[in-house]
A and B are shown apart, each in its own frame.
Chain A
């Protein structure tokens, strides 16, 4: 029998890995905040699913959330194209409006909806071990672990199958388009996995932790390497270390696990931000000094002539 600690750690690691994998592409594509937008904008989808099925069943909610996740992506894209406004502004308009509609729906159906914005958005990973999946009377272990394993499987297959395409696309969408790659398909494929990952994860770990795990580990890794496969591996590594470290930190100070993992992410980033050899603060400063010294040597000490 696996202990509840182990289940929590497994869940955290699964979420961290999935998020780091797709988050890397988000960071490279400069769409980091898509995860944040999706995790808020799915609120109406969840309420609708709840109203239709009159239960807190997970699968209808996942479907409702998934549809609204894709709707967010599509609306953001269309609004920024048709309305000629910056991508970030169009994302802001879409997700906050959808979120507001969700909150209104909750208060409209308050009598028969037993959810609130906080419980939807701020899942708690500590409850994962008790969210069991009973299948034909058998205890299959925590349900989130199954769902998150599926998400991880999908993400890994998507990335391995489309690796070359994703690589070209994330560094230069224009090049990808001129090479004749199916840019639309890649974009919506990526966004689909992002929505799916976000929705499946935030239900069990909370929206803010998803946002942190999508962005911070890839950004940390981005300060250390220029190669995509290393970037992916490092991001996963940072995700996992922050998940494990955060869990023990939470135990130690007796606090929220999700919050502690986010803080751990921040600490890791701060460390790398200062120390990274090439792109860190110190590294840059040293490199700058070296160049300066080399330059001044060139100027002040010419080769002594012996003839």
Chain B
């Protein structure tokens, strides 16, 4: 606790620098990473981060020493060059983008290694620590670094906000952007420029490999929480900043611990939690949805079974015992009990105890069951009429669709089919009495023919319940 207070009181100027640096890095890398992920260029960051090495070495050779500005400039030039090369290769040949990323990464880095050994053997004086540039030393950040860093991050964030709309468009639909006259190429170049900037700056803090992850992980985590790019950018930036804080805090409490890797691990942890817990898209939420849906399917099927029993013998007042239901729908005793209690709770069926013990559809239950049978048969009719699917293939598809068709879709189906009276198996499609009369009635089908058509449906239909 004491350490926590000590850390967040920001007394130590060193903490302030490191914290500011990592937060800024997390913010801007997180935000930019969203575009990289959406444009399926997640690993471009990795390649650029590696490809920077020859630039650093050349700058060192030209400047004859470790002039920080020259090193950054060299890195920047080669980063951009690698971006352009990757793009050029995959645009002008049959080589897939992933292969061109890998080639640029390894060949550029190999060239860098050659230059590095050249520098070492030629005996430049202060060449040692040149590769620190690549492996990163967040804890060694000083005031001037943070100023450069802060300026860069601020620049990146401002540019992103200004051209947000354009970037959004080229991330989701570049051909549309091109067709309405957006300067797509220029925008892509701008995005590449920003990426190279943040990578050049970030590498010195967290190193090559971990820089790539700061571009990918926060953005991927943010994707689980939202469908809006604006919100995704904000969340990703937040995740990046938070992992920056965690990383610096851990390396502050345990000085042997490196900041960069802990940043990555905290980001990965946040990603994992998002993957599990995010509402709607998270694993747990999806699992719950799945269970709910399967429960819904089960109780709707029971409703339909009750209804088709009524259709068969034409009696709405006969009690249907649970045993009989289980004969038609193969559910375990426990599941049947759960389903029935849900139906009772929703007041779709009523129970009459004593002997014989059984269930009856309530008025709302019958209406709901009728709706299910109706959409089932409408869907079958639709499939056979519009898609010419053979009669014996219709049932299974409709069996799953009936649970998903909303009233909107139902209305559309009826409009497109003209509210037919019969489905392809010649069973009557039950409409609610208070609605318009089905169009097919003109052709002779009796309005009160529910019982009559029920026996028909019994003949045509396997299993009874449709």
Contacts and interface: CB of A to CB of B under 8 A. Distances in A.
A49 interface: no
Contact of A266 (B110, B210, B262): B110
B43 interface: yes
Given A85-B223, A101-B265, A104-B261, A212 B217 contact: no
Contact of B42 (A36, A83, A92, A211): A92
Nearest to A249: B114
Contact of B261 (A82, A89, A101): A101
A31 B216 contact: no
A32 B117 CA distance: 27
B94 to A, nearest CB: 5
Interface in A275-296: 279-281, 284
B380 interface: no
Interface in B253-268: 256-258, 260-262, 264-265, 268
Given A103-B261, A253-B118, A263 B209 contact: no
Interface stretch (B101-109, B184-192, B297-305): B101-109
Q: How large is the interface on A (under 10, 10 to 19, 20 to 34, 35 or more residues)?
A: 35 or more
A32 to B, nearest CB: 4
Contacts of A108: 256-257
B98 A31 contact: yes
For chain B, what secondary structure do more than half of its interface residues adopt (helix, strand, loop), or is it mixed?
helix
B101 A33 contact: yes
Given A104-B265, A260-B114, A215 B94 contact: no
B332 interface: no
Contacts of A273: 89, 93
A97 B110 contact: no
A259 B114 contact: yes
A79 B117 CA distance: 39
Contacts of A222: 94-95
A281 to B, nearest CB: 6
A250 B258 CA distance: 35
B229 to A, nearest CB: 16
Contacts of A269: 103, 107
A258 B93 contact: no
A157 interface: no
B265 A263 contact: no
A118 B334 CA distance: 60
B264 A262 contact: no
A185 B220 CA distance: 29
A97 B98 contact: no
Interface in A186-205: none
A92 B94 contact: no
B98 A32 contact: yes
Contacts of B348: none
A90 B223 CA distance: 13
Task: For the complex of A and B, list the 5 residue pairs with the smallest distance between their C-beta atoms, beginning with the closest.
Answer: A262-B110, A96-B213, A259-B113, A266-B107, A212-B106
